[in-house]
Structure 1
Amino acid sequence: MAKSILLVEDDSAIATVVTAALQDEGFDVSRCASIAKRDRLLAADRFDAMLTDVVLEDGDGIEDLPTIRDSFAEMPIIVLSAQNTLDTAVRATETGAFEYFPKPFDLNELVRAVSQAVGTSSAASADEGDMGDSLGLVGRSPAMQGVYRMITRVLRNDLTVLILGESGTGKELVAEAIHQLGRRKTGPFVPVNAAAIPSELIESELFGHERGAFTGAVSQTIGKFEQANGGTLFLDEIGDMPFEAQTRLLRALQSGRIRRVGGRQEIAIDVRIVAATNRDLQPMIEAGKFREDLYYRLNVVPIEIPPLRERTEDVGSLAAHFLKLAANEGLPAHQLSPEAVALLERMPWRGNVRELRNTVMRLALLAREDIIDANAVEEIIGKASQEADPVVGGDLQASVRNWLVENNPPSGTVYHRAQAAFEKPLIEWALQETRGNQLRAASLLGINRNTLRKKLDELSIEPDAFTDR
């Protein structure tokens, strides 16, 4: 007997297309466009699955899904929505949806989800709760919809997540969303920036140390693993973690136990691990810079954050969001004209969302009119920034200042982050000038050859890559 599907959709064009696709696969589809008609159909017939839009002609299509699930516990529910925000995705998940599809969706993928749903004995359990957009993840582009869907899929489990993306794309915001919306939300969220901690201190930072474990260890210190017990440990810039520390991290993840530096007692820990990196870890594994077994331990659920240049349709909503934040922080209230938004959309945004935020804050501070137009944008941020790379050419001091504005490194990390950012291109330039000759490159830079070798290792630079240039 054909599986029966109830489709609740007030857009007749979408309803027609979805109905035809499901019928082609052998499903028996009943259609309606309102909550009232939906309730009458549910009272009269049994359905194997239900597909519902969120905004219907007579109300919110998912508001009472928990009640429906109480009466029809075996019926999976798939939510379709043009309200493509993280809020909608989470609401759909929290109200018991089997799956969530933002519009426009891939029809073949939807059909596969329906086939999977009707072959499943029961839908996911529902939890009460709601959230706003206060987490800062803004955007309705198709690229961001994939991010939202992946976030909702890891909320009810403790699977390890590896967040991938360029600097400034919002990796920590995604990590915070996973924590604050997940089952560990009542526990601590503890971030650790592996790139900002000197290599000789990173094990102490992660695992803590006992008094007298090393020079300067005048008292016992609790590490980040213990601080995060019962919650989430966010390992940012995991690709910059020293190889030796990777070994101890892997051991902790495998055993669920740690040992403080200088200590003898093993301590059980209960943390969820979310890691992030802006590096491509595969070449680092091949070069022996990153442990392959640690990579597979971390890369259980990968979530890739798209760079802003791949979702320029989100620039306007992001800019509006940042203007609201600026007003909340005491800066004058502003809006952007359509022409100003179009101008911002054409900019390269090499610093991604972080650069856009800092730019909008600058506009909010300096703009003279309530409506910021394209002329004001050009006047305040300059035409050059729309096309030129902020760290290529021109005055070096200005380039450094631009880098600091666009990357906004957290307090306590500025020196090391800036040093790391500028060391690599400097060393690569020297190797290019000397065609990979390390002795000549060290001489050109005015540093010891052993120092250069150490930097090559720390920065994952392959000198052989420059020999044929």
Structure 2
Amino acid sequence: MRASGAILVVDDDPAICVVVGEALRRQGHKVKTAASIRERAALMDSFSPDVLITDVMLPDGDGLDGVADILERNPDLNVIILSAQNTLNTAIRATEKGAFEYLPKPFDLNELTRAVSDALGTRAAAEGADDQGDLPHDGLPLVGRSPAMQEVYRTIARVLSNDLSILVLGESGTGKELVAEAIHSLGKRRTKPFIAINMAAIPRELIEAELFGYEKGAFTGAHARTAGKFEKAQGGTLFLDEIGDMPMEAQTRLLRVLQSGEVTTVGGSKPVRVNVRIIAATNKHLPQLIEDGRFRQDLYYRLNVVPIALPPLRERREDVILLARHFLERAAQDGLPRKALADDAAQLLMAWHWPGNVRELQNMMQRLSVLSRENVITADILRHMLPIEHGPADTIAPTDQLVHAVRDWAKRQLGIGITRPQRALHDDLLAVVEPVLLEEVLSSVDGNQIRAAGLLGINRNTLRKKLTDYGLDPLQLRMGD
């Protein structure tokens, strides 16, 4: 049985408050939010939380200030600290103040909800509640702490309280349906149906019948009136996957439904009023389809009210290992042998181009859970079972090609022998390549550090530290300078 409790979330970012609050409420917790130290103080007295989640940087001061006094007055309270200042000093301060857990921003929502469950489990154990048992965790559908995914989370947070149409864009395997599921399960329609339909998986002549339903005798095989996906999703969410594959005639009818809010079955004449939220998704470039005459421009505008662009996995490499371990854990929960990931295997996974994105990574982890005889997956096991180094040339990561080329150059120019320790070789190569790479990227974006960090797949604080370490001035790294 899960321990539920009262949670106070303190952050001046409304998006974080919404996402964290809704995720915790879905697990049965009572949640209140505050945006400042003053609001936190007021709610500590009136709400009496079991767990306090607080940011460090708040509009009226340091969120760590006063935590020790709060814990002294509330000895059963557990505090979870969040901070975008991902420094050792912040972690030490959080520990010294008596925090139960410290999570750097951007944080993973699953990790935060697990920390809350652990905090409540600790409190229950202290109270002698021996009926709690293991605290199960309902995994949230999205995993990732990269800047690109944090932007996705922020957009999701902004659409939870409204019914605007959403268009999810991204390559195959990036998790577009998971985004739709997250919006539904965290939003106000979560108690109603979530219905998904894949346009590419249904014969063209049956799409209208599947979407809008049909009457008895409407076509051969129609033996009784059958409700379509719109009616089945009444009050909930209808997810239209692969919308770019929808035939033009079905697009016309869909547009009419979106405009009128009424559905008429195939072979029927009496319209049925429907109330559904529309989330569409595609891996195609719809503006090009419009130009080619294969997609209606007016339908595009109806669907693309709020676009959410999912990055490919190769552009969010900091999430690869987090996802890999998440999928190994999920496989173990599903009854497959439990496996761990060695550091050298993790480095090999980071170098892969991931043409199949998150879906490819999930399938790979499932295969390793079943086929690997060892409990720890090493790089040798990974190479043996999945010959990454012998993959197609166009699927080898550009970074991997660069490292191989520079390694050969370094051996010739710097006299680095192949017998030197791998760590030393890596450090020597990094010292040569990294400052040049930073200069080129910053120059290409006219010194814009935010854009440069995004292109490099690192956060802005990490970029700033590297610039300081190498003595680089971003103001001087501009096009044409």
What's the TM-score, normalizing by structure 2? 0.58
- Which letter maps to 2:277? R
- In 2, Cα distance between the equivalents of 1:382 and 1:261? 51
Aligned partner of residue 247 in structure 1, secondary structure: helix
Q: Indicate if the aligned counterparts of 1:86 and 1:133 stay in contact, CA closer than 8 A.
A: no
- In 2, Cα distance between the equivalents of 1:37 and 1:161? 44
- In 1, Cα distance between the equivalents of 2:66 and 2:106? 18
- In 2, Cα distance between the equivalents of 1:216 and 1:6? 63
Aligned partner of residue 201 in structure 1, secondary structure: helix
- In 1, Cα distance between the equivalents of 2:252 and 2:164? 20
Matching residue within 372, 376, 380 for 1:371: 376
Deviations 1:46-68 (A, max 9, x none): xxxxx985995444899xxxxxx
Q: Indicate if the aligned counterparts of 1:140 and 1:314 stay in contact, CA closer than 8 A.
A: yes
- In 1, Cα distance between the equivalents of 2:390 and 2:332? 24
Q: Which residue of 2 aligns with 1:272?
A: 277
Give the gaps of 5 or more residues in structure 1. Answer: 23-28, 41-50, 63-79, 92-130, 391-469
Q: Which residue of 1 aligns with 2:64?
A: 33
Q: Indicate if the aligned counterparts of 1:194 and 1:235 stay in contact, CA closer than 8 A.
A: yes
Q: How does 1:432-447 map to 2 (within 5 A)?
A: none
Shift of 1:331: 1.6
Matching residue within 173, 195, 199 for 1:194: 199
Matching residue within 221, 240, 243 for 2:245: 240
Q: 1:85 to 1:61 in 2, by over 3 A?
A: same
Q: Indicate if the aligned counterparts of 2:216 and 2:224 stay in contact, CA closer than 8 A.
A: yes
- In 1, Cα distance between the equivalents of 2:112 and 2:257? 33
Deviations 1:305-341 (A, max 9, x none): 1000001111101110111121122221110101101
- In 1, Cα distance between the equivalents of 2:255 and 2:112? 33
Q: Which residue of 2 aligns with 1:127?
A: none
Q: Which residue of 1 aligns with 2:290?
A: 285
Alignment of 1:382 with 2:391, yes or no, is no
- In 2, Cα distance between the equivalents of 1:35 and 1:349? 46
Q: How does 1:229-378 map to 2 (within 5 A)?
A: 229-378=234-383
Deviations 1:394-424 (A, max 9, x none): xxxxxxxxxxxxxxxxxxxxxxxxxxxxxxx
Deviations 1:61-95 (A, max 9, x none): 99xxxxxxxxxxxxxxxxx962512358999xxxx
Q: Indicate if the aligned counterparts of 2:352 and 2:388 stay in contact, CA closer than 8 A.
A: no
Q: Which residue of 1 aligns with 2:208?
A: 203
Shift of 1:383: 3.5
Shift of 1:214: 1.5
Q: Indicate if the aligned counterparts of 2:106 and 2:147 stay in contact, CA closer than 8 A.
A: no
Alignment of 1:86 with 2:98, yes or no, is no
Q: Which residue of 2 aligns with 1:462?
A: none
Shift of 1:231: 0.6
- In 1, Cα distance between the equivalents of 2:247 and 2:212? 15
- In 1, Cα distance between the equivalents of 2:355 and 2:196? 24
Q: 1:380 to 1:81 in 2, by over 3 A?
A: closer
Q: Which residue of 1 aligns with 2:448?
A: none
Q: Which residue of 2 aligns with 1:145?
A: 150
- In 2, Cα distance between the equivalents of 1:345 and 1:358? 16
Aligned partner of residue 191 in structure 1, secondary structure: strand
Paired positions, count = 306
Q: Indicate if the aligned counterparts of 1:243 and 1:291 stay in contact, CA closer than 8 A.
A: yes
- In 2, Cα distance between the equivalents of 1:341 and 1:236? 32
- In 2, Cα distance between the equivalents of 1:265 and 1:247? 18
- In 2, Cα distance between the equivalents of 1:207 and 1:32? 53
What's the TM-score, normalizing by structure 1? 0.60
Aligned partner of residue 240 in structure 2, secondary structure: strand
- Which letter maps to 1:265? K
Q: How does 1:154-233 map to 2 (within 5 A)?
A: 154-233=159-238
Which of structure 1's runs of 4+ aligned residues deviate more than 6 A?
Answer: 37-40, 88-91
Q: 1:274 to 1:89 in 2, by over 3 A?
A: farther
Q: How does 1:93-172 map to 2 (within 5 A)?
A: 134-172=139-177
Deviations 1:188-231 (A, max 9, x none): 00000011111111000000000111122121111000000011
- In 2, Cα distance between the equivalents of 1:384 and 1:61? 40
Q: CA RMSD in A?
A: 3.1
Shift of 1:136: 3.3
Give the gaps of 5 or more residues in structure 2. Answer: 1-34, 41-54, 72-80, 85-90, 115-135, 396-481
Q: Indicate if the aligned counterparts of 2:160 and 2:183 stay in contact, CA closer than 8 A.
A: yes
Shift of 1:149: 1.0
- In 2, Cα distance between the equivalents of 1:204 and 1:213? 9
- In 1, Cα distance between the equivalents of 2:145 and 2:365? 19
- Which letter maps to 1:184? R
Shift of 1:283: 0.7
Q: 1:249 to 1:208 in 2, by over 3 A?
A: same
Q: Indicate if the aligned counterparts of 1:35 and 1:61 stay in contact, CA closer than 8 A.
A: no
- Percentage identity across paired residues of the two chains: 54
Q: 1:32 to 1:183 in 2, by over 3 A?
A: closer
- In 1, Cα distance between the equivalents of 2:100 and 2:277? 34
- In 1, Cα distance between the equivalents of 2:236 and 2:197? 14
Shift of 1:362: 1.0
- Which letter maps to 1:283? Q
